[in-house]
Structure 1
Amino acid sequence: MSTPKRVIHVISHTHWDREWYMPYEAHHVKLIQTMDALLDTFATDPDFRSFYLDGQTIVLEDYLQVYPEKRELLQRLCKEEKISAGPWYVLQDEFLTSSEANVRNLQIGHRDAAAFGPVSKVGYFPDSFGNMGQAPQLLKQAGIHNAVFGRGVKATGFNNQVGEGSSLESPFSELTWESPDGSQVLGILFANWYNNGMEIPVDPAEARQYWDHRIESASRYASTPHLLLMNGCDHQPVQTNLSEALRVARDLYPEHEFVHSNFDDYINDVLATLPPKLSTTRGELRGQKTDGWFTLVNTASARVPIKQLNQRNQTLLEKVAEPLASLALVEGKPYPHALFNYSWKTLMQNHPHDSICGCSVDEVYREMETRFAKSTEVAKAIIRESARHLSERVDTSGFEVYGSAAAPFVAYNTSGYKGSSVTSFDVELSRRYFKQSENPVRVAEEVRQRTTADGSLINHRGEPVDFASEDLGVKFGYDLPDDKFRQPYMARFVRLTFETGIMPAMGHLVFAWISAIGEEQATGSSGVASLVTGEATLENANLRLSIEADGGMTLLDKRSGQTFLDLGHYEDAGDVGNEYIFRQPDGDVPITTKGGNARIRVVEDAPYRATIEIVQEMSIPVSADERLDQEVRTMVSILDRKSGRSVKRVPLVLTTRVSLERLGKGVQVSVSYDNPAKDHRLRALYPTDVRSSTHFADSIFEVAERQNTPSREWQNPSNCQHMQAFVDAHDSQRGLTVAGKGLNEYETLLDGRSTLAVTLLRSVGELGDWGVFETPEAQCLGNHSAEWMILPHGGSDRIDAYREAHRFPVPLTVCQTGLHAGTVPPRFEFLRWEGEGILFSNLKTNEQRGDWMARWYNANGAPSEVRLVTARDGQAYVSNILEDNSHDAVNGQFPVGPYQIVTVGLRN
């Protein structure tokens, strides 16, 4: 049998990092030059067939910022399929962006691409630092049946054996990639990277040497006669003489076919010639069959403040603004699709892997902070307007008996999970508008004299609610009416802190502040027993927390009877790596707070919450030693660095506050500190004493199960991992979940106690990778803070802990309103659901149909169902992540398969 003729598919492309070793606008100028050259090449070379625009529509958007008049030309080239468009808006880091952000990325990428021509249906992940396990399911729901990626699977070559039971090795560059739910796509691995066909020579002698090497390298891994040569690389200019280079190749190798190809043609040809059986890779692609040094997981802890801003921004958009705007739609307020689009796009401009990963030059992060601020302000404006519209329609007439003394307000829970929260809200007692001709000092005094900060708090049933109040005095404010000029005023405010009681999962409760009348005085206590039960002990019905002399914590879970010891110590280690990779100096022994001295005091003792403050001081090296600077400047590999930590020490003072709420199921922790040192890593340690070889981490639409011990090939002493909201270790008897806000890196230590080590800060001074790029601001000097929650459980009830972990970062929205009747009851649940093992993701509104779109996923390997009750009377139907309308109608419940992601539409 003759050997099939090899077909060499050359795909022209450029991998376009919007910002990285240069700021965005510097890269932007290079993009304009690259696109100009591409358009000129299309115009002058009829044999130049196609160019792949890196799978992201933002490249077109960025070009049209400068040349808006070229839109029609780009649309023509896209319709002719010379330029691809989509499927993504940006090439994101999958693990550092939320589940919903990954979905919005596909949704907006598809929508924007469709405005130019056919949407590219290539699941393109060329340089993601690991790939999410649910990618095949997400891609298939978007009508994409392939994934092209560069990391996470080790190609062995077809003559090599794949380890038995290993799903992270493949003999071929072609494989089957399967999600936990069983969804499968064809995987195309860049076994020779995405630059294996760049800068093809036209000189015959050079071309012969070039092609001999490239064809042999690609053939080593290909399972079919179709070889993939990627003609481009990072910010690679267009090879304008490619047609000539391919003519030279055809003359030199008449036995092969050279095609200036595209992904559609290449993938179709591969599909037609695949061998009967490919290896199957399941779940996350995280490079566990490598030496572990260059999986780049430590980008999860580079520039932690950026991750915290991202978490806050994402949460406000997907967990507060979108749900609230959807609820307001029910009461007649149009859904602000255009504003959401703008806010999401602005946020996602921070989501490319070199941006959100923290592995760029300092200028990039100054601009990212501005984008976060812009996107967040839009989200907050939508939240305010939606809450005001809803609150005006909530019935508060039950408080009319108190007359003008009553100040009603509505608290909204949009997390998707019911539960109690302690919240703070500034209640306006009285307001006085004033004109420019009036003296504002006199107006302020008038407001002060006619109000009192004394009063009481009641709920919608008229029952007293425990609270703490702070008189904020008279402050300036203003209205911006829709029909007239701005209206300044003076108003007096009281800040209330109180526990809401159990809130609906997607709904609200009404409260009212009743100002004191005559001699009546406020009382903030109902006589409920204190949560402080010892000198350094907090206790509620679920938990008992004791602070030890060194600042460590002992936690008893009364529900399971399990006790957790030595929780919450801090560890500081040296770091002579870079923004990509943590590298602890040889022989470095971490410094910990265990066994030290701590100053401990109760700082809050309210009926609804108690808080203990712990102050600890660590003496840590001021930086690495002097050798590191020389090693960085001369590009000594981090694996070969000999630098250690400085002998000079500085104090690191950590002020930790641990809080227990009356109805709380976990302990809330916050820490603040002024980082005085460089070249180090700070972590919080939580020994679990769980007996299990695996642990679980919140990831993209799944709670991923991961091995505690890495593969035999793993050489890196560190085995850090990504998490979204939480990490969890459990066995059949006990479990501990640690949930964070913008803390994306953890490690399960092999210390005999299955300690969960959560990274709070990593300080480094260089970018790393291919050159010398100093990043002094990545040392993160100065003030920092972090928040997380400790959730003990009994193992079998882990899903309840996961729901609390998801609820933890979602703030309540509180809006003051007037006394009025309304169409919405004072306690109302717009969306109620139940389901074993089910986690909630999002509620939003579809732009084309105005339907609610709600999304859940099954965190377990057993079938389940969602039982649904909503405020809408319309028909429900199962959709997909692109929110298509062509799926089966469902009634009050619908099945959710093992690890399945389900989107349900709710019609008006």
Structure 2
Amino acid sequence: MPSSQPKAVIHVISHTHWDREWYMPYEAHHAKLIQTMDELLAIMDRDPEYRSFYLDGQTIVLDDYLQVYPEKREKLVQLVQEGRLSAGPWYILQDEFLTSSEANVRNLQIGHRDSRAFGPVSKLGYFPDSFGNMGQAAQLMQQAGITTAVFGRGVKATGFNNSVSESPDLESPYSEMNWDSPDGSRVLGILFANWYNNGMEIPEEPAAAKAFWDHAIASASRYASTRHLLLMNGCDHQPAQANLSAALRTARELYPDYEFIHSNWDDYVKAVHSDLPPELSTIKGELRGQRTDGWFSLVNTASARIYIKQLNQQNQTMLEKIAEPLAAFAHAQGRPYPHGLLNYAWRTLMQNHPHDSICGCSVDEVYHEMRTRFEKSKGVAASVIADSTAFLGGQIDTTGFAAISRDSAPFAVFSTSGYEDSGVVTVELELGRRYFKPGEAQAETAAIVGRDTTADGYLVDADGKRVPFVSSDLGVRFGYDLPADKFRQPYFARVVSVTFEAAAIPAMGYGSFAWIPSAGEEAGPAAASLVTAPNTLENDFLRVSIQTDGTLTMLDKTNGQTFDGLGYYENVGDVGNEYIFKQPNGDTAITTRGLAADIRLVEDAPHRAVYEVTHTLDIPESADERLQAEIATMVPFLERQAQRSSKRVPLSIVTRVSLSRSERGVRAHASFDNQAKDHRLRVMLPSGVSVAKHYADSIFEVAERATVPNPEWVNPSNCQHQSAFVDVHEAGRGLTVGNKGLNEYEVLRDDSGTIAVTILRSTGELGDWGVFPTPDAQCLGRNEAEWILLPHGGADDRFRAYQAAYGFQVPLQAVQTGLHAGPLAPRQSLLNWNGAGSRLALSSLKVNEDRGDLVARWYNLSGEPSELRVDAGRDAALYESNVLEEDNGARIGEAGSATVPVAGYKIVSIGLRADK
């Protein structure tokens, strides 16, 4: 009798996982892409049974093809509209943890915008090869109208290429599961339990096909919760299978009890949703492979080529935290918003964000090109910042300074971190500017400026109150204007460099100051030195003593807590690769603990004091000769016997420890000339807090993580990702360590709750599937690192420290302006907001491309409900939006202000429309 059960359905989805650059540089991969796409289009033309091909969830594949063949755009549009090619939802397949919260959002936004130009947007949360998945993915997907996510890593016991272990203790018995974000948002999660190549190169010949399908069907059936089985027909840079239709005809003949479909993601996902069992396992938050042995989570890509991460952090900060909000403020005052420039800058930056690029796990040539992209994007951001601050400066009423002196040189200082900010600012002010024309006696013009100006003077704020400062005369210098309505205008001017502490600059606002030229004027009002004893720095909040071995003893004067032994360095060997750190068997750490340091006071100014601490370590120059032999013969890193060399080289680390008058944290900047290979350098920061959990800044959340890993974890190292900071705290005591582009940390399983931050990892091979030497990844030469120590009182007090850590990454911006009237007050906030208990973080402020509305985004740092109060400072309509910045039509508040409840861990976007 025929079975009453419906047939199992084999969904074969053709695709290629397209790493834009990896084991070859970009243009080599690019040429391969052109060949792959050409052949794919030819297959689709000649084979009507070849129904669809998935372009890896990223629209940049289309861009890269059209860069060579722009005349084929109409063909691609036709195929997308017919459903035979996919478009989006991402612009690129990013590494989620090494790109900022806003970069993840812009990736979705640009991917959606580009997709709409071709046809329907692929509404699939596609994370095929992310090295771990962010905890807020489900919330981001839901806000973008995406209900299903597929991913390759982070769940179950996975090994190389996601091979599944036999352990019964799995996080889900099925490849399908509920995936929840911390706020409760949910999507259906589908794991590539047999990787995304389990249907590649399907045989057409019956005997080979029988062997293939017997294995493939059994493997897919093992984890599927429905009768719909997924076979991914492709792999990394895999060309389309030209004989697929014939291979599927063979399969249908061999297996009449199965239905074989050349499918697509839309049809497969719809079928799975309709056939799910009533109960699925639920996974929550981050997927980082914590139920594995710990060797293949690939977290150590966070420390490969740290210089790339630092450039990325600078670039992201310039775009999202400085250029965009300043351009938005200028737009609100009537200046056109530079959508095109910012879009170009974001795209250029995100071309560095694919996982094999930003992770530092590619060949050296990739990073030569990445440096150029960073410089291009940063150059655009710098131009937008300069234009926006110049425009805003021209809108500020500075006439009050004229009462002090008609020769006043006013300037404005902008804070765009989202919080009231105090910081040390250096501004170069031009005095006595004198223009000249071609052919004039330029030397005489310069001499006149030198004779008619003075570098002496003093500094005042908008109230006319004198401000302590340090200045230096940079002499008469050439400069030029580029007016919008005439030819360039060269000039000479005297330049005075003024450094001071700009205190309490309003959040998302500015303050005004002026340099008052005055011959013979004393430096400024006296201020007590921040050096209160030998090798000791102190302000109203902290006292920091530098011990003879260079470690810091820090007293938090607000609660009486003392932190000892902060800031020693640890050096160990590394015989792993760009993906994975592996300390040599039996290797002993070399540290600076107890090693006498050279300590010198190098700055004692009214606004800041700085000590320079120099350590010199004697370390092995490299691994021994066995490592190169093991690399050349592809000995797995876990089996390597290489040790560190007996030959030594010096490693001199110069650390500048600084404390400013108003800051609640101690800053550190380390620089060193690395001449050793195959090693790792970390700064060690004992928190004095021994707890089971700690907290790290991640994508739209402060993630709570276990300090002690699960029992399955056998890797001695438990390094993890961070964005702006890591925090360890208990009742009444806590330490937050902020950073700039130092994305790898570990909280040690010791009695001191030591936070170890990686500041250098040197390795000489890519790793993975072949032999790819990467000498540049040894990071020889000058390296540097920056961090800040922020003690706090634990619990709720930690959110103040988190805000300071965010602010640490965002420098204040200063611009000189003239003496003039203007519609803006000398000091004000351009966007007033507050969140109850300071639990909210401002993520971005920009202008939406489609409607021209201002859009601001916040997120709740905690699981406790909060409340957001927004006051735009003008009569405007406010509405709740989403990460795609859509207007849902529902207005909130009135007259440009509103109070919005924000649930725990919620991401909230607010639009502001001037026309109401």
TM-score normalized by structure 2?
0.97
| Secondary structure, counterpart of 1:566 in structure 2 | strand
Aligned residue in 1 for 2:805: 805
**Cα deviation, residue 6, structure 1:** 1.0
Matches within 5 A, 1:750-761: 750-761=749-760
Deviations 1:208-264 (A, max 9, x none): 000000000101100111000000000000101100000000001001000000011
**Cα deviation, residue 2, structure 1:** 4.9
How has the CA–CA distance of structure 1 residues 527 and 402 changed in structure 2, closer, same or farther, with 3 Å as cutoff? closer
| Secondary structure, counterpart of 1:494 in structure 2 | strand
**Cα deviation, residue 4, structure 1:** 3.8
| Secondary structure, counterpart of 2:270 in structure 1 | helix
Aligned residue in 2 for 1:822: 822
**C-alpha contact 1:162 1:169 (8 A) present in aligned 2:** no
C-alpha separation in 2, matches of 1:198 and 1:158 = 18
Aligned residue in 2 for 1:727: 726
| Secondary structure, counterpart of 1:245 in structure 2 | helix
Aligned residue in 1 for 2:18: 16
Aligned residue in 2 for 1:140: 142
Q: Is 572-581 or 445-454 further displaced after alignment?
A: 445-454
> What code does the residue aligned with 1:903 have?
S
> What code does the residue aligned with 1:26 have?
A
Matches within 5 A, 1:570-609: 570-609=569-608
| Secondary structure, counterpart of 1:420 in structure 2 | strand
Deviations 1:293-322 (A, max 9, x none): 011000000000000000000000000000
Q: 2:910 aligns with which of 894, 904, 907?
A: 904
Matches within 5 A, 1:602-681: 602-681=601-680
Deviations 1:316-341 (A, max 9, x none): 00000000000001110010111111
Aligned residue in 2 for 1:342: 344
**Cα deviation, residue 159, structure 1:** 13
Deviations 1:712-758 (A, max 9, x none): 11111111000000000001121000000000000011122110000
C-alpha separation in 1, matches of 2:733 and 2:164 = 45
Aligned residue in 1 for 2:260: 258
C-alpha separation in 2, matches of 1:823 and 1:203 = 79
Aligned residue in 2 for 1:307: 309
**Cα deviation, residue 405, structure 1:** 2.1
Q: 1:211 aligns with which of 210, 213, 216?
A: 213
Q: 2:503 aligns with which of 501, 504, 517?
A: 501
Aligned residue in 2 for 1:392: 394
- The count of aligned residue pairs is 901
Aligned residue in 1 for 2:329: 327
Q: 1:85 aligns with which of 87, 98, 104?
A: 87
Q: 1:374 aligns with which of 376, 389, 397?
A: 376
> What code does the residue aligned with 2:532 have?
T
Deviations 1:417-441 (A, max 9, x none): 1121111110111222222212333
C-alpha separation in 2, matches of 1:842 and 1:482 = 30
C-alpha separation in 1, matches of 2:168 and 2:436 = 78
C-alpha separation in 2, matches of 1:663 and 1:639 = 49
Q: Is 119-128 or 865-874 further displaced after alignment?
A: 865-874
**C-alpha contact 1:399 1:819 (8 A) present in aligned 2:** yes
**C-alpha contact 2:164 2:194 (8 A) present in aligned 1:** no
C-alpha separation in 2, matches of 1:507 and 1:121 = 38
Aligned residue in 2 for 1:44: 46
Q: Is 805-814 or 432-441 further displaced after alignment?
A: 432-441
Deviations 1:334-362 (A, max 9, x none): 10111111000000000000000000000
Matches within 5 A, 1:222-371: 222-371=224-373
Deviations 1:374-412 (A, max 9, x none): 000000100111111111010000011234420000111
**C-alpha contact 1:158 1:220 (8 A) present in aligned 2:** no
> What code does the residue aligned with 1:465 have?
V
The answer to whether structure 1 residue 772 and structure 2 residue 743 are counterparts is no
Deviations 1:848-888 (A, max 9, x none): 22111011111111111101222232011111000111153
**Cα deviation, residue 522, structure 1:** 3.4
> What code does the residue aligned with 1:822 have?
G
**Cα deviation, residue 161, structure 1:** 8.3
C-alpha separation in 1, matches of 2:421 and 2:392 = 21
Aligned residue in 1 for 2:701: 702
> What code does the residue aligned with 1:444 have?
A
Q: Is 547-556 or 883-892 further displaced after alignment?
A: 883-892
Deviations 1:3-27 (A, max 9, x none): 5411000000000000000000000
C-alpha separation in 2, matches of 1:419 and 1:683 = 29
Superposition RMSD on alpha carbons, in Å?
Answer: 1.3
C-alpha separation in 2, matches of 1:684 and 1:747 = 11
C-alpha separation in 2, matches of 1:672 and 1:506 = 32
C-alpha separation in 2, matches of 1:829 and 1:586 = 57
C-alpha separation in 1, matches of 2:628 and 2:237 = 29
**Cα deviation, residue 841, structure 1:** 0.6
| Secondary structure, counterpart of 2:688 in structure 1 | coil
Q: Where in structure 1 are there 5+ consecutive unaligned residues?
A: none
C-alpha separation in 2, matches of 1:692 and 1:46 = 62
Deviations 1:449-478 (A, max 9, x none): 111111000000000001001111112212
Q: Is 488-497 or 20-29 further displaced after alignment?
A: 488-497
Deviations 1:516-575 (A, max 9, x none): 14xx42313x22211101101111111110000000000011112110000000111101
Q: Is 420-429 or 154-163 further displaced after alignment?
A: 154-163
Q: 2:472 aligns with which of 470, 473, 482?
A: 470
Matches within 5 A, 1:425-444: 425-444=427-446
C-alpha separation in 2, matches of 1:565 and 1:710 = 26
C-alpha separation in 2, matches of 1:473 and 1:257 = 81
Q: 2:180 aligns with which of 154, 178, 181?
A: 178
> What code does the residue aligned with 1:19 have?
E
Deviations 1:488-520 (A, max 9, x none): 222211111101110111001000000014xx4
Q: Where in structure 2 are there 5+ consecutive unaligned residues?
A: none
% identity of equivalent residues: 64
> What code does the residue aligned with 1:136 have?
A
C-alpha separation in 1, matches of 2:832 and 2:579 = 43
**Cα deviation, residue 158, structure 1:** 12
Aligned residue in 2 for 1:847: 849
C-alpha separation in 2, matches of 1:381 and 1:532 = 39
C-alpha separation in 2, matches of 1:303 and 1:529 = 42
**Cα deviation, residue 155, structure 1:** 6.3
C-alpha separation in 2, matches of 1:589 and 1:424 = 44
**Cα deviation, residue 162, structure 1:** 6.0
C-alpha separation in 2, matches of 1:508 and 1:821 = 16
How has the CA–CA distance of structure 1 residues 159 and 191 changed in structure 2, closer, same or farther, with 3 Å as cutoff? closer
| Secondary structure, counterpart of 1:849 in structure 2 | coil
C-alpha separation in 1, matches of 2:52 and 2:874 = 48
> What code does the residue aligned with 2:619 have?
I
Q: Structure 1 runs of 4+ off > 4 angstroms?
A: 155-163
C-alpha separation in 2, matches of 1:150 and 1:447 = 66
**C-alpha contact 1:657 1:669 (8 A) present in aligned 2:** yes
Matches within 5 A, 1:142-157: 142-154=144-156
Aligned residue in 1 for 2:901: 895
Deviations 1:567-600 (A, max 9, x none): 0001111011100000100111111111001111
**C-alpha contact 1:162 1:170 (8 A) present in aligned 2:** no
> What code does the residue aligned with 2:901 have?
P
**C-alpha contact 2:324 2:846 (8 A) present in aligned 1:** yes
The answer to whether structure 1 residue 120 and structure 2 residue 125 are counterparts is no
C-alpha separation in 2, matches of 1:331 and 1:852 = 12
Aligned residue in 2 for 1:687: 686
| Secondary structure, counterpart of 1:644 in structure 2 | coil
